[in-house]
């Protein structure tokens, strides 16, 4: 039993962790504990009060909403810290107050309407705490869904207007975790286009610390992942809380340390880019937020997240093994046609590549990026016979076929925009701002989605495609929908995402054999919402190996290597240097390998190298896709990025150490989490090691030159 109500406490247990809260006077859920699983949870609700903190007369100065560790802080009624729920009521004010009504424990989970969510398994349970605001008649249900084997608890809520007047939800945070005083750091991932998800670790200071996206996409700039850890925690030691959000639009992550040292952590839609009107009997479902707790440092957190994402978020792999793709973009850009595609196909097949992906440029009059988004029909000049014969010929070479789309966008220079200028996001009276010459379609308008479903059915319905790369190349401003009434304009951003998810589900159902790879100008929507529908995600438009290391390091902190699409390209002409080409391959095999270069024009020795690389990758592929991933040396603080993959059965281990810059030879040590009584053999040297020795530390000498790597492959022999 993962969830129980025991001696007035709600106790949620996972394999290694426990989460405990109680009810203050049967009225307010107050947090008590989140940490390692224990025999007993003896915590009492602390009696806190401080000057200037409001209190209920009934309890006197021993209980103030401002001092309690709250499971559901609401706005404007005694808690001065940041709120999770804010509702504007019929009187026009936003003072909000919910009180506990009852609880339910259900098997499985409640699925949020239209939103992505973590798939339950046979052990999944959900605790529902029902609360009521008497004034508005709103019922708030807090969900705690437990994935016990994965050590994950997810949080979300629904708000049901059971009153007689319309209300407006003005702030929606799906997860709140209040913790007692402590010396904590927080870790977030920041960046930009081509510098996504760089690691940042800061001390949690007094006051408000937050990261967010106001861009309508989870964004390159800040990722929804966040960790809060003990100041002393490192990769393998210390308490770490990890958080994430199953959503792909604007979000807000908050950490507030009050002057008494207590810390409130929140994840959700926030308030700046969100509002939702609820008429009587209407319900709002909030997206799901995810949390985990590790006493085994950052690796403990990452491994838990990775397993959870593999088992409960990602779709089942439609193609096994995952295809090694050759993508046309970085070498040909818009300059593709029937003949060029066949040249690519022949060269790819000769090298042992599995799939050719035709990127941007195959539709409308798309000869550059100024035109044709929205016109999803075949570019007649480039493909006079259509795509079906081309795909047939590509398949004759033994390759699979993938195609690029960007359904959410429209160029003003397009037939679609000429016909339906009212179908893009726009604020009346405001100039339309372009980004990459494009505008954003109004996915909050169901008519737009209907239209796109019909159009893609006509264009792709009869084609033998195996893979779709779904791109999204601009962020949203003037977020207003001509299809919504004035009082619902704040819903646009959220409704837009519901439209996006609807279209993803249409593609998934219509093309169940097709693997979707997500992309947003590189990795601008690298989030759990997209991962629900996409087997893998294009990590970044940056394919320079040195720069990639930081991107891959940050990405793998929160997301498993099996979603991380990594291509070897001809960045800076690296294919002409065998050492650099080798290093680019080593970096790319930190995730799912692919290629992105003008392969038909590459010299024979490069083609041979690539063929050999693919063969080598095949040997380790299942470890990379299904294994656990542990970091050892962090590229932010050291010249090395070292990590290892280990199979779930711990019978195979691949350790890698990458070094982009030249530097003196050093002796490095990597400690592996292996069973002490096991014995392993290292492939290259044939040397045998006990598990205990590998746990205590495996040492090796680094190479002095730039673009150097060390690789060790261990197999268990007993
Ligand atoms: C941005 C993507 O990140 C690239 O890989 C490529 O697909 C281009 N868009 C195409 O316009």
Any atom of ligand 1 within 6 Å of the Cβ of 519: yes
Q: What is the mean pLDDT of the chain?
A: 97
This prediction's pTM: 0.98
Q: How confident is the model at residue 460 (pLDDT cuts 50, 70, 90)?
A: very high
Q: How confident is the model at residue 1 (pLDDT cuts 50, 70, 90)?
A: low
The pLDDT of residue 120 is 98
Decide if 364 contacts 406 (C-beta within 8 A). Answer: no
Q: Cα of 129 to ligand 1 centre, how many Å?
A: 44
Q: How far apart are CA 709 and CA 707, in angstroms?
A: 7
pLDDT at 465 over 80: yes
Q: Cα of 434 to ligand 1 centre, how many Å?
A: 17
The pair of structure tokens assigned to 55 is: 């209190």
The pLDDT of residue 44 is 81
pLDDT at 43 over 90: no
| Mean pLDDT, residues 577-583 | 98
Q: Cα of 194 to ligand 1 centre, how many Å?
A: 11
CA dihedral 329, 335, 339, 341 (to 10 degrees): 10
Any atom of ligand 1 within 6 Å of the Cβ of 596: no
pLDDT tens-digit profile of 299-349? 999 999 999 999 999 999 999 999 999 999 999 999 999 999 999 999 999
The pLDDT of residue 524 is 98
Radius of gyration of the chain (CA): 26
Q: What are the angstrom distances between the C-alpha of 504 and each of 262, 529, 589?
A: 41, 11, 28
Q: How confident is the model at residue 7 (pLDDT cuts 50, 70, 90)?
A: confident
Any atom of ligand 1 within 6 Å of the Cβ of 296: no
Any atom of ligand 1 within 6 Å of the Cβ of 540: no
pLDDT tens-digit profile of 528-559? 999 999 999 999 999 999 999 999 999 999 99
Active site residues: 471, 541
Atom of ligand 1 nearest to the CA of 327: 5
Any atom of ligand 1 within 6 Å of the Cβ of 308: no
CA angle 617, 618, 623 (to 5 degrees): 85
The pLDDT of residue 47 is 81
The pair of structure tokens assigned to 665 is: 């030879």
Q: Cα of 252 to ligand 1 centre, how many Å?
A: 27
| Mean pLDDT, residues 487-496 | 98
pLDDT at 435 over 90: yes
The pLDDT of residue 42 is 79
Q: Which tops the pLDDT comparison, 44 or 10?
A: 10
Any atom of ligand 1 within 6 Å of the Cβ of 225: no
| Mean pLDDT, residues 423-446 | 98
CA dihedral 650, 654, 655, 657 (to 10 degrees): -160
| Mean pLDDT, residues 636-644 | 97
The pLDDT of residue 50 is 87
| Mean pLDDT, residues 425-435 | 98
Burial 120-142 (b: 16+ CB within 10 A, else e): beeebbbbbbbbbbebbbbbbbb
The pLDDT of residue 163 is 98
pLDDT at 166 over 80: yes
- The residue whose CA is least distant from atom 2 of ligand 1 is 521
- The residue whose CA is least distant from atom 9 of ligand 1 is 521
Q: How confident is the model at residue 290 (pLDDT cuts 50, 70, 90)?
A: very high
| Mean pLDDT, residues 266-294 | 98
Q: How far apart are CA 151 and CA 347, in angstroms?
A: 46
């Amino acid at each position: 039993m993962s969830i129980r109500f025991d001696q007035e406490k709600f106790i949620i247990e996972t394999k290694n962790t426990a989460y405990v809260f109680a009810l203050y006077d049967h009225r307010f859920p107050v947090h008590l504990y989140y940490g390692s699983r224990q025999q007993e949870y003896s915590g009492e609700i602390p009696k806190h009060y401080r000057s200037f903190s409001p209190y209920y007369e009934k309890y006197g100065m021993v209980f103030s909403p401002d001092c309690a560790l709250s499971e559901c802080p609401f706005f404007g009624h005694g808690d001065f810290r940041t709120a999770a729920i804010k509702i504007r009521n019929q009187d026009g004010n936003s003072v909000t107050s919910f009180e506990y009504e009852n609880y339910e424990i259900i098997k499985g989970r409640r699925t949020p309407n239209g939103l992505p969510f973590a798939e339950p398994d046979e052990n999944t349970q959900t605790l529902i705490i029902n609360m009521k605001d008497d004034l508005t008649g709103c019922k708030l249900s807090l969900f705690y869904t437990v994935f016990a084997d994965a050590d994950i608890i997810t949080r979300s809520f629904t708000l049901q207007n059971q009153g007689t007047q319309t209300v407006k939800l003005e702030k929606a945070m799906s997860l709140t975790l209040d913790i007692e005083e402590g010396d904590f750091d927080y870790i977030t991932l920041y960046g930009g286009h081509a510098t996504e998800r760089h690691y940042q670790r800061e001390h949690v200071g007094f006051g408000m610390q937050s990261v967010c996206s106001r861009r309508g996409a989870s964004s390159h700039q800040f990722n929804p992942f966040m960790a809060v850890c003990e100041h002393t925690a490192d990769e393998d030691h210390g308490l770490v809380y990890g958080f994430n959000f199953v959503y792909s639009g604007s979000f807000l992550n908050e950490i507030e340390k009050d002057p008494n040292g207590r810390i409130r952590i929140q994840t959700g839609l926030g308030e700046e880019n969100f509002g939702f009107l609820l008429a009587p009997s209407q319900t709002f479902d909030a997206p799901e937020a995810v949390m985990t707790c590790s006493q085994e440092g950052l690796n403990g957190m990452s491994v838990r997240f990775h397993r959870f994402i593999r088992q409960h978020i990602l779709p089942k792999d439609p193609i096994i093994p995952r295809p090694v793709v050759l993508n046309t973009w970085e070498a040909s850009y818009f300059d593709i046609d029937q003949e060029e595609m066949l040249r690519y196909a022949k060269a790819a097949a000769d090298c042992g590549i599995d799939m050719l992906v035709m990127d941007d440029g195959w539709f409308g009059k798309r000869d550059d990026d100024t035109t044709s988004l929205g016109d999803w029909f075949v570019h007649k000049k480039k493909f006079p016979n259509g795509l079906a014969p081309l795909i047939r010929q590509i398949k004759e070479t033994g390759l699979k076929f993938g195609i690029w789309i960007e359904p959410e966008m429209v160029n003003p220079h397009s037939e679609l925009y000429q016909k339906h200028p009212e179908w893009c996001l726009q604020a009346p009276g405001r100039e339309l701002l372009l980004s990459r010459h494009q505008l954003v379609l109004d996915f909050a308008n169901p008519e737009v989605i209907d239209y796109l479903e019909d159009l893609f059915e006509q264009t792709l319905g009869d084609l033998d495609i195996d893979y779709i790369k779904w791109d999204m190349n601009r962020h949203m401003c003037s977020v207003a929908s001509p299809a919504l009434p004035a009082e619902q304009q704040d819903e646009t951003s959220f409704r837009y995402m519901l439209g996006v998810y609807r279209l993803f589900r249409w593609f998934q159902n219509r093309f169940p054999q097709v693997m979707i790879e997500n992309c947003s100008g590189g990795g601008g929507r690298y989030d759990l919402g997209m991962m629900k529908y996409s087997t893998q995600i294009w990590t970044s438009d940056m394919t320079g190996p040195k720069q990639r290391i930081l991107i891959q390091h940050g990405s793998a902190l929160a997301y498993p290597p099996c979603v991380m699409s990594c291509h070897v390209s001809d960045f800076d002409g690296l294919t002409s240097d065998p050492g650099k080409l080798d290093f680019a391959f080593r970096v790319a095999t930190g995730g799912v390998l692919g290629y992105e270069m003008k392969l038909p024009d590459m010299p024979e020795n490069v083609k041979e190298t690539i063929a050999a690389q693919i063969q080598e990758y095949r040997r380790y592929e299942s470890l990379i896709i299904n294994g656990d991933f542990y970091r050892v040396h962090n590229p932010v603080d050291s010249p090395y990025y070292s990590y290892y993959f280990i199979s779930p059965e711990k019978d195979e281990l691949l350790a890698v150490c990458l070094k982009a810059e030249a530097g003196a030879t050093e002796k490095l040590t990597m400690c592996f989490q292996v069973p002490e009584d096991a014995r392993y053999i290292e492939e290259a040297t044939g040397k045998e090691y006990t598990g205990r020795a590998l746990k205590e530390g495996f040492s090796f000498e680094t190479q002095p030159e730039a673009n150097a790597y060390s690789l060790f492959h261990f197999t268990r022999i007993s």
